[in-house]
């Protein structure tokens, strides 16, 4: 769907955003191993509202993207998070799920609402705690869904291997890309690039000492090609090209933003950061799910 809004009343803008640092999902070393997912989300929701300088009474809906909606992120956890964050009860709440695109879906939904002239001021957030809520546990996939595909499409790693081989992306190319990614992230973190977006959050360091976490745990400043070359393929033993160094890590963290119409932002004298002009979704073959976000 492409739609160009012309009126400030129906043009969505982002007015504030923030996130926690990203912790590793590790029961022994993860900085957020003792912090609940809903708490991470509540922290960034209240901070985004504060940064947005919008009166909390104006908030109409809180949309939180969550992929594993159970246990501490179970029920309509967006409502729990809103209440923890001190958002007034008059704001509604809805938990969204499109797996990797869950909070982006919340964002789209907020924009659609503004474009349609329905709700105006939204908080959009997303949270994931892959250590407390591992992927795919307690899920019972219907086997007939795979009658025109295969069960192996459930393994993102295998679909990635398939993409790598069918598009000729070599292991070397992947490793160079990963290295560059770590190098840039390290540089950005060292020069304070992330300072404005990261909200300090209480956590534990590797020794179990209470620490205020303000740096992403998954950035490897010591990444190097020689060490990467030693690693074994994770998803396709021996013949695969993807290793721990070139896979997305399991992470714990949360992010939030405030979205409203351009007209409302003006009324509150808030300077927008981003204007949303259109949104769109499309499906791809399960075997090439990695192409989805590209």
Partner 1 sequence: MPEPITTLSTLVIEKLSGGITAIGINVPGHSQNVMNQDFMEELEQVLTFLQQNPPRGLLVESLRDDSFLAGADIGQIDTVWSLPSARVKELCDNGRSLLDMFAASPWPSVAVIDGVCVGGGLELALACDLRVATENPKTILGMPEVKLGLLPGWGGTVRLPRLIGTGPAIELIASGDVITGSQAKTLGLVDACVPVHSARESACAFIEQTIATEDYCKRRAELQLPQVLDKPESDFLLATTGAVIVSRTKGNYPAPMVAFDTIMQSATKSMKEAAALESKAFADLSQTSVAKQLVRVYRLGERNRRDCGLGESAQLTSNESVHVNEVQKPSIVGAGIMGAGITARHVRSGFITKLVDIDARTLEQSIPAILEEAAWDRYHQKTNQERVNELTGRLMSSTQLSSIADTEIVIESVIERTDLKRQVLADIEATVSPSTIICTNTSTNPIATLADVFSDPTRFCGMHFFNPVRQMSLVEVICGPDTSDSTVASVVLHAKRLKKVPVVVQDSPGFLVNRVLTPYLHESVELLREGVDPSRIDKVSRRFGMPLGPLELYDMVGLDTAFYAGLVMANAIGDRIEASPVIPALVKAGWLGRKTGTGFYSYKSTGHDAKIESINEKLGDLIDPYRLAEQQMTDEQICDRLFLPMLLEALLVLDEGIVRDGCDVDLAVIHALGFPAFRGGVLAWGDSLGAAEVVHRLDQFSYLGPRMTPPARLLAHAESGRPFALVEERGNLLPKTT
By beta-carbon proximity to partner 1, the closer residue of 83 and 158 is 158
Closest among 120, 144, 156 to 263, alpha carbons compared: 120
| Smallest gap from residue 145 Cβ to partner 1 (A) | 9
Q: Which of 2, 144, 196, 230 binds partner 1 (CB under 8 A)?
A: 144
Binding part of the chain for partner 1, among 10-18, 22-30, 52-60, 146-154 by CB under 8 A, reads: 146-154
Contact call for residues 105 and 16 (beta carbons, < 8 A): no
- Smallest distance from the beta carbon of 139 to partner 1, in angstroms? 12
Is 28 among the residues that bind partner 1 (CB under 8 A)?
Answer: no
Cβ nearer to partner 1, comparing 173 with 284: 284
* Closer to partner 1 by Cβ: residue 4 or 239: 239
d(CA 268, CA 223): 46
C-alpha 154/C-alpha 227 separation (Å) is 29
Residue 232 contacts partner 1 per CB under 8 A: no
Nearest Cα neighbor of 81 from 95, 67, 71 is 95
Is there a contact between 160 and 243 (Cβ–Cβ < 8 Å)? no
Part of the chain binding partner 1 (CB under 8 A), chosen from 60-68, 108-116, 150-158, 242-250: 150-158
Selected from 89, 168, 192, 237, the binder of partner 1 by CB under 8 A is: 237
Element at 259 (helix H, strand E): strand 251-261
Q: How many residues does the chain have?
A: 294
Binding window for partner 1 (CB under 8 A); candidates: 34-42, 126-134, 137-145, 270-278 = 137-145
Stretch that binds partner 1, among 77-85, 154-162, 185-193, 195-203 (CB under 8 A): 154-162
Residues in contact with 251: Cβ distance below 8 Å, sequence separation at least 6, in sequence order: 22, 23, 24, 25, 128, 130, 218
Give 159: exposed, middle or buried? Use CB within 10 Å, 0-12, 13-18, 19+: buried
Q: Which residues sit at the interface with partner 1, rule CB under 8 A? A: 142-144, 146-153, 155, 158-159, 161-162, 165-166, 236-237, 239, 285-288
């Amino acid at each position: 769907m492409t739609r160009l809004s012309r009126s400030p009343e129906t043009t969505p803008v982002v007015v504030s955003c923030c996130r926690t640092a990203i912790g590793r999902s590790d029961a022994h070393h993860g900085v957020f191993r003792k912090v609940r997912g809903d708490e991470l989300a509540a922290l960034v929701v209240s901070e985004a509202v504060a940064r947005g300088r919008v009166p909390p009474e104006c908030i109409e809906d809180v949309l939180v993207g969550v992929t594993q909606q159970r246990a501490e992120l179970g029920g309509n956890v967006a409502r729990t998070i809103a209440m923890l964050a001190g958002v007034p009860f008059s704001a509604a709440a809805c938990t969204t799920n499109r797996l990797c695109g869950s909070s982006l879906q919340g964002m789209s939904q907020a924009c659609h609402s503004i474009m349609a002239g329905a709700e105006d001021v939204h908080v959009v957030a997303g949270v994931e705690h892959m250590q407390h809520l591992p992927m795919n546990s307690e899920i019972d996939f219907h086997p007939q869904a795979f009658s025109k595909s295969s069960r192996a499409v459930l393994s993102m790693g295998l679909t990635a291997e398939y993409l790598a081989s069918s598009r000729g992306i070599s292991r070397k190319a992947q490793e160079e890309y990963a290295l560059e990614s770590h190098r840039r992230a390290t540089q950005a973190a060292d020069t304070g690039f992330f300072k404005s977006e990261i909200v300090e959050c209480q956590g534990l360091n590797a020794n179990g000492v209470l620490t205020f976490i303000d740096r992403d745990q998954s950035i490897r400043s010591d990444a190097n090609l020689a060490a990467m070359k030693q690693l074994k393929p994770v998803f396709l033993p021996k013949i695969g090209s993807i290793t721990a160094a070139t896979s997305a890590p399991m992470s714990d963290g949360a992010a939030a933003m405030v979205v409203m119409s351009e007209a409302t932002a003006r009324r509150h004298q808030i300077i927008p950061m981003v204007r949303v002009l259109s949104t769109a979704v499309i499906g791809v073959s399960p075997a090439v799910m990695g192409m989805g976000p590209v």
